[in-house]
């Protein structure tokens, strides 16, 4: 889930017209951006300053080496505390920096999807083994107890009590990742959707369930099957979208054939959201985005990304209306996975990482990363990539990453190149890299984010900006209508090159403008 932008709460007087509201929001966005740019220049972090081009400068998307020389092929992963639970060809391993990996499940349980829900003490995973594919649920506390007792990794036969029987043959599942209300799981079994929720024990009285639940290591009995929904085809991509209010219907966005549809969880009715005009379609993702409490979807396929505002159900009918906030852009390469971390949108291909802005899709950065594979992105971003052994120090970790143990941006270049060519006697290996979410989000804005994955207090991380003070959180920015019009007009004149202001300009200003032009020409 991602909260895209919410400037209406900082506007002193929110206009009633949708067009005026969008114009005021854009003007406020420009004003905050100009203030941030001025502060960056003052403290020496702007592109026009010498500190920005020095070797000590690090970009927020610079990865840290989490585990060097990772010997297995990673399938998927999810963070568990400070460690990472990774599904590999050798089973599911608990990886913590460069410490020895611990086996949690052996190779008889081939895990294709997993979610570690620490607040709910749950591990949800999908083990795919042909027709015998199922969803499994575990208590994290029970797994932790087994790891502390130095038990060997669980086999498939040891997990018989943890499988949800009705999910046999499933090929995909999705959960409401932010758990705003109750945990909801939607499982896709061919062209059928199975909605599952978790029961809530009532505190009144002492029931048999409340007596057994603390003693039971398997949480299977806590889950209940709500309903089945039939689709016209098997979904390739699936995302859950919360309704605007508790009593409103929740939605399921599914992608199949040449279209994106939204399905009402309560009635099972499907409505067309977007039709893809292409002979071949490679669906990548459907990311739920919340703006001012209203849901939107970022639909990603082939080279394209389209933002669509999801209108609520009204009397059983679903409306898809063009909005001023809708936009579309294209990637330079076809992505395999896409991650949202406001204000950035990161696309992962097989050999590169492309970073754009969420608000308009403008290109920010491109990095060449050989054999890149995203493995986890629900909080911090984890991926695997190849690296030469002689360029990675043996004692490197994400807690104290240096310039030698993680891919860095070379000074004076626009595109960092990860080590790809090998010399004599070198062995190509894969490393696990980590991009902390706080690095991406903490530098973006001076307001608290509503996303539950991000802390309300935003402070810059020490690996990125050493010695900088904490970023103040601004709750209210007053701005008059005349100031909004003046800022918008001045910005428009500057973009068109018609600025006639004779005020003093810094020497580094022209250099700051030439760099983006050069970068766009090279891309």
| HEC-encoded secondary structure of 452-500 | CCCCCCCCCCCCCCCCCCCCCCCCCCCCCHHHHHHHHHHHHHHHCCCCC
Distance, in Å, from the CA atom of 403 to the CA atom of 56, rounded to the nearest integer, reads: 9
Nearest to 431 by CA among 84, 112, 153, 58: 84
Per-residue model confidence (pLDDT) at position 408:
35
What CA–CA distances, in Å, run from 10 to 6, 16, 91, 459, 474?
A: 8, 15, 49, 21, 9
What CA–CA distances, in Å, run from 98 to 325, 389, 424?
A: 45, 14, 26
> Quick one: how far is CA 489 from the chain centroid?
35
DSSP track, 80-111 = ETTEEEEEETTEEEEE-TTSPPEEEE-TTS-E
Contact call for residues 296 and 239 (beta carbons, < 8 A): no
- Other CB atoms within 10 A of residue 178 CB: 18
Nearest to 398 by CA among 444, 471, 466, 461: 461
* Beta strands across the sheet bearing 337-341: 337-341, 344-348, 352-357, 363-368
Per-residue model confidence (pLDDT) at position 312:
61
Q: What's the burial of 135, exposed, middle or buried (CB within 10 Å: 0-12/13-18/19+)?
A: buried
Per-residue model confidence (pLDDT) at position 519:
46
Distance, in Å, from the CA atom of 488 to the CA atom of 496, rounded to the nearest integer, reads: 12
Distance, in Å, from the CA atom of 481 to the CA atom of 22, rounded to the nearest integer, reads: 14
pTM over 0.85: no
- Other CB atoms within 10 A of residue 262 CB: 25
Q: 343 preceded by cis ω (within 30°)?
A: yes
* The pairing of beta strand 327-330 with beta strand 337-341: unpaired
3-state percent breakdown (helix, strand, coil) of the chain, nearest 5:
20, 35, 45
Distance, in Å, from the CA atom of 452 to the CA atom of 378, rounded to the nearest integer, reads: 11
Per-residue model confidence (pLDDT) at position 355:
95
Q: What are phi and psi of 513, to 5 degrees?
A: -80, -30
Per-residue model confidence (pLDDT) at position 413:
39
DSSP track, 15-35 = -SSHHHHHHHHHHHHHHHHHH
Per-residue model confidence (pLDDT) at position 12:
55
| Cα distance between the two ends of the chain | 30
Distance, in Å, from the CA atom of 115 to the CA atom of 19, rounded to the nearest integer, reads: 40
Q: What's the burial of 489, exposed, middle or buried (CB within 10 Å: 0-12/13-18/19+)?
A: exposed
* Secondary structure of 508-522 in HEC code, one letter for each residue: CHHHHHHHHHHHHHH
Distance, in Å, from the CA atom of 213 to the CA atom of 40, rounded to the nearest integer, reads: 54
* The pairing of beta strand 172-175 with beta strand 64-70: unpaired
CA-only gyration radius of the chain, Å = 25
Tell me how long the chain is. 523
Place of tokens 């594979």: 373
DSSP 317: B
Note down pLDDT in tens along the chain; length 523 residues: 555 555 455 555 555 677 777 788 788 888 887 777 777 666 655 555 454 455 556 788 999 999 988 889 999 999 999 999 999 999 999 999 878 899 999 999 999 999 999 999 999 999 987 778 999 999 999 999 999 888 888 999 999 999 999 999 999 999 986 655 689 999 999 999 999 999 865 444 444 444 444 547 789 999 999 999 999 999 999 999 887 666 567 899 999 999 999 999 988 999 999 999 989 999 999 998 877 667 889 999 999 999 988 866 554 555 556 666 678 999 999 999 999 988 899 999 999 999 998 888 889 999 999 999 999 998 899 999 986 433 333 333 333 333 333 333 333 334 444 444 454 444 467 899 999 998 888 744 333 333 333 333 333 333 333 332 333 333 333 344 455 456 556 655 655 555 444 444 434 444 444 444 444 445 4
β-sheet bridge partners, residue 254: 238, 261
Place of tokens 């990472």: 84
């Amino acid at each position: 889930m991602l909260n895209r932008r919410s400037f209406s709460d900082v506007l002193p007087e929110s206009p009633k017209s949708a067009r005026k509201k969008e114009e005021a929001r854009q003007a406020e966005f420009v004003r905050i951006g100009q203030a941030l740019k001025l502060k960056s220049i003052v403290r020496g972090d702007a592109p026009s300053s010498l500190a920005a081009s020095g070797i000590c400068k690090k970009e927020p998307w610079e990865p840290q080496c989490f585990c060097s020389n990772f010997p297995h092929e990673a399938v998927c992963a999810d963070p568990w505390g400070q460690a990472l639970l990774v599904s590999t060809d050798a089973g599911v391993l608990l990886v913590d920096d460069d410490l020895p990996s611990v086996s949690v499940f052996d190779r008889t349980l081939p895990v294709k999807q997993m979610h570690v829900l620490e607040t709910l003490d749950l591990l949800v995973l999908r083990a795919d083994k042909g027709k015998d594919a199922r969803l499994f649920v575990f208590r994290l506390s029970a797994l932790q107890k087994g790891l502390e007792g130095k038990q060997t990794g669980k086999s498939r036969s040891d997990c018989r009590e943890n499988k949800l029987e009705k999910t046999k043959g499933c090929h995909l599942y999705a959960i409401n990742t932010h758990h705003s209300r109750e945990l909801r799981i939607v499982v896709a079994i061919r062209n059928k959707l199975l909605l599952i929720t978790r029961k809530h024990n009532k505190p009144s009285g002492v029931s048999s369930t409340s007596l057994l639940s603390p003693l039971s290591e398997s949480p299977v009995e806590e889950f209940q099957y709500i309903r089945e929904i039939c689709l016209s085809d098997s979904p390739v991509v699936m995302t859950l979208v919360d309704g605007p209010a508790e009593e409103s219907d929740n939605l399921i966005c599914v992608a199949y054939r040449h279209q994106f549809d939204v399905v009402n969880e309560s009635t099972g009715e499907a409505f067309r959201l977007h039709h893809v005009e292409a002979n071949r379609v490679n669906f990548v993702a459907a990311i739920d985005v919340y703006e001012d409490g209203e849901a939107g979807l970022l639909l990603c396929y082939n080279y394209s990304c389209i933002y669509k505002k999801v209108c609520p159900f009204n009397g059983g009918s679903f409306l898809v209306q063009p909005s001023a906030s809708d936009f579309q852009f294209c990637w330079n390469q076809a992505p395999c996975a896409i991650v949202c971390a406001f204000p950035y949108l990161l696309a992962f291909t097989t050999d590169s990482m492309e970073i754009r802005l969420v608000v308009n899709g403008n290109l920010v950065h491109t990095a060449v990363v050989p054999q890149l594979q995203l493995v986890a992105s629900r909080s911090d971003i984890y991926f695997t990539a190849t690296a030469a052994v002689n360029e990675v120090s043996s004692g490197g970790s994400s807690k104290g990453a240096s310039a030698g143990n993680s891919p860095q941006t070379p000074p004076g270049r626009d595109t960092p190149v990860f080590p790809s060519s090998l010399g004599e006697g070198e062995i190509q290996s894969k490393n696990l890299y980590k991009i902390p979410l706080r690095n991406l989000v903490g530098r973006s804005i001076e307001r608290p984010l509503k996303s539950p994955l991000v802390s309300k207090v935003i402070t810059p991380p020490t690996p990125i900006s050493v010695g900088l003070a904490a970023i103040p959180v601004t709750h209210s920015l007053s701005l008059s209508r005349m100031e909004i019009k003046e800022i918008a007009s001045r910005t428009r004149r500057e973009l068109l090159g018609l600025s006639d202001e004779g005020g003093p300009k810094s020497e580094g200003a022209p250099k700051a403008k030439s760099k983006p032009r050069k970068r766009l020409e090279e891309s």
